[in-house]
Chains A and B, each alone.
Chain A
Amino acid sequence: AQKITQTQPGMFVQEKEAVTLDCTYDTSDPSYGLFWYKQPSSGEMIFLIYQGSYDQQNATEGRYSLNFQKARKSANLVISASQLGDSAMYFCAMRLKGSGYALNFGKGTSLLVTP
């Protein structure tokens, strides 16, 4: 079974600091995709970053980077220079095999950025 685990229910970070949100996954499929989404209090799901299992380099998108350690099956999200607007729920997800390319989500991490 494919499984996503986010072990941090809540995190605090001070403005302008970097923060790492943890995500581990479990799959026997050699081909998979990993995603991070942000959900602010408004409820919309905002795509942040994607990493394919065969990608040689860690994905980066602006202040977001994905620390992909394939052997450890981890895909941690790093947010550099945190901003107050980064306060939100963050979900790690993995593409499911054979479900119309649905995503299997972790339980999420609530991030609060303080001044």
Chain B
Amino acid sequence: DVKVTQSSRYLVKRTGEKVFLECVQDMDHENMFWYRQDPGLGLRLIYFSYDVKMKEKGDIPEGYSVSREKKERFSLILESASTNQTSMYLCASRSRALATTNEKLFFGSGTQLSVL
């Protein structure tokens, strides 16, 4: 069964800490994505990657960076966490091929991050 795994379900950090959110997929997908989800705002794209060491900014990249050293792993980094980064973070992946059966994104179960 296909799987996107996020390392933590819940995380509590302090303001100013450096935070790493890890995501691993086992489907050999080229494209990986980080979203944040806030009530009333839906899901918003932070960063995406379409290959190892390649990254592109999404709609709300400020305050975040990413790392993709291996194809299966995509990390989201909060260099200096702030309270307005308290949110649910969702990782997703998909094959680069634009075929009907590969259209959808596969999501991890999410990390609820609280920054105090």
Contact = CB atoms under 8 A, between A and B. Distances in A.
Interface of A: 6, 9, 33, 35, 37, 42-45, 47, 50, 52, 91, 93, 95-96, 99-108
Contacts of A102: 31, 33, 45, 48, 58, 105
A45 B100 CA distance: 19
Interface in B58-112: 58, 88, 90, 92, 94, 96, 98, 100, 103-107, 109-110, 112
A33 B100 CA distance: 9
A42 B112 CA distance: 11
Given A35-B104, A47-B104, A50-B104, A101 B98 contact: yes
Q: Chain B interface: which size bin?
A: 20 to 34
A99 B58 contact: yes
B41 interface: yes
Given A44-B109, A108-B42, A101 B56 contact: no
Interface of B: 31, 33, 35, 40-45, 48-50, 56, 58, 88, 90, 92, 94, 96, 98, 100, 103-107, 109-110, 112
A50 B98 CA distance: 13
A101 B43 contact: no
A45 B104 CA distance: 11
